[in-house]
Amino acid sequence: MILITGGAGYIGSHTNKALHNAGYDTVVVDNLCKGYENFVKWGNFENYDFGSKDVSEVFEKYDIDGVIHFGAFSSVAESVEFPQKYFKNNYKNTLNLLQVMREYGVDKFILSSTAAVYGNPEHVPITEDQDLKPINPYGHSKFITEKALQREADKGDFNYVSLRYFNAAGCDFDGEIGELHDPETHLIPLILDAAIGKRESISIFGTDYDTPDGTCIRDYIHVNDLADAHVKAYEYLCKENESNIFNLGNGEGYSVREVIDMCKKVTGRDFEVKMDDRREGDPAILIADSTKIREKLGWVPQYDLEQIVESAWKWHERMNVI
């Protein structure tokens, strides 16, 4: 049985589905502070806070073999405003989960980490061996969590994989689950809100970055490709007695303007685009070099930006009809 924290959230629910399709039993642990119970369509569900000692009851009830830990706050902008909230939930509460795991002899752990651990990278595409210099509290909270996991692995009888996500986007092609944040801060759903008429316009945060069109460049990766990487990472932990860290991105960078243009193309709708100030904590360019996970785990991303936007649009239209 695999325990999935945050499995009622966006990436966690897609991974729960992928694990189910690969034949695994799962139990989702989520306190629903961000997630949705109706996103848990596969496996078991337990409403617990992974930062509470009570979570041990889940380890009592189920025979847990490994933990995939999505539960975290993940907004760069919010982390700049409320750093303590991020260090407490993303770091301190993860230590609680680790302690309970160790008490129950659970030795496999997958962390949702982030490209935000790199800060402003020395070179792009970014390889895993670059210096980690996070420029926002969110990235910093994941950076120190990775360090804690490394120390735990050094002690023995414990292995982890840290997956450093670049920009997760897109939705389940069957439309069973999707991206739903409250408040929404991510670029693609906000653009689609403008396309569907829920917002009057989309604002570009910063047009004076050192990039070809002056807007930030990101590496957008389909959530199903991320989910597949978790299945492969779990299989790796079952087979190999070692820990590892992998980037997860497509290796293609798109500027904010290019993403807006793609959304206009896919939706066939036009909407107002406003120029705004930079958002604090945003690095100019984040593009992954994912060679390591391709070579080590045989992971190959399947979807490009157009397919990402198409799947997100399908979900968006569905959500706004119901």
Active site residues: 138
Q: How far is the CB of 262 from ligand UFG (least distance, A)?
A: 13
- Give residue 284's Cα distance to chain centre: 19
CA neighbor of 6 nearest in space, from 54, 74, 56: 74
- Give the nearer residue to ligand UFG in terms of CB position, either 172 or 282: 282
Q: Which member of 4, 58, 132, 216 binds ligand UFG (CB under 6 A)?
A: 216
Which segment (57-65, 97-105, 123-131, 184-192) binds ligand UFG by CB under 6 A? Answer: 184-192
Give the bridge partners for 4, in sequence order.
28, 68
Q: How far is the CB of 23 from ligand UFG (least distance, A)?
A: 30
- Give the nearer residue to ligand UFG in terms of CB position, either 27 or 195: 195
What gap in Å lies between CA 307 and CA 294, rounded to an integer?
21
Ranked by CB distance to ligand UFG, the top (closest) residue is: 216
Q: Which member of 3, 18, 98, 115 binds ligand UFG (CB under 6 A)?
A: 115
Q: Which member of 3, 11, 76, 97 binds ligand UFG (CB under 6 A)?
A: 76
What tokens appear for 231 in the block? 């299945």
Which segment (81-89, 120-128, 183-191, 306-314) binds ligand UFG by CB under 6 A? Answer: 183-191
271 lies in the site for ligand UFG, by CB under 6 A: no
Q: How far is the CB of 187 from ligand UFG (least distance, A)?
A: 4
Range 181-186 contact pairs with CB under 8 angstroms and sequence separation of 24 or more:
181/10, 181/34, 182/34, 185/75, 185/77, 185/78
Q: Where are the alpha helices (DSSP H) in the chain?
A: 10-21, 56-61, 76-81, 83-86, 93-103, 137-155, 187-196, 223-239, 256-267, 291-297, 305-321
If DSSP codes are grouped into helix, strand and coil, which group holds residue 21?
helix
Q: Which member of 190, 223, 262, 312 binds ligand UFG (CB under 6 A)?
A: 190
Considering CB under 6 A, how many residues would be counted as binding ligand UFG? 22
Q: How far is the CB of 156 from ligand UFG (least distance, A)?
A: 31
Q: How many CA atoms lie within 13 A of 304 on its CB side?
A: 5
- Give the nearer residue to ligand UFG in terms of CB position, either 211 or 307: 211
With beta carbons less than 8 A apart as the criterion, state whether 67 and 46 touch. no
282 lies in the site for ligand UFG, by CB under 6 A: yes
Which residues are CB-neighbours of 159 under 8 A, at least 6 positions away?
107, 108, 109, 153, 237, 240, 241, 242, 243
Footprint on residues 224-263 left by ligand UFG (CB under 6 A): 256
Q: How far is the CB of 164 from ligand UFG (least distance, A)?
A: 8
Which segment (9-17, 24-32, 108-116, 225-233) binds ligand UFG by CB under 6 A? Answer: 108-116
What gap in Å lies between CA 52 and CA 155, rounded to an integer?
24
- Give the nearer residue to ligand UFG in terms of CB position, either 138 or 299: 138
Q: How many CA atoms lie within 13 A of 34 on its CB side?
A: 21
Q: How far is the CB of 103 from ligand UFG (least distance, A)?
A: 30
Q: How far is the CB of 121 from ligand UFG (least distance, A)?
A: 11
What gap in Å lies between CA 194 and CA 25, rounded to an integer?
39
73 lies in the site for ligand UFG, by CB under 6 A: no
Give the bridge partners for 248, in sequence order.
165
Residues engaged in binding ligand UFG (CB under 6 A): 74, 76, 114-116, 138, 166-167, 185-187, 190, 202-205, 216, 218, 256, 279, 282, 286
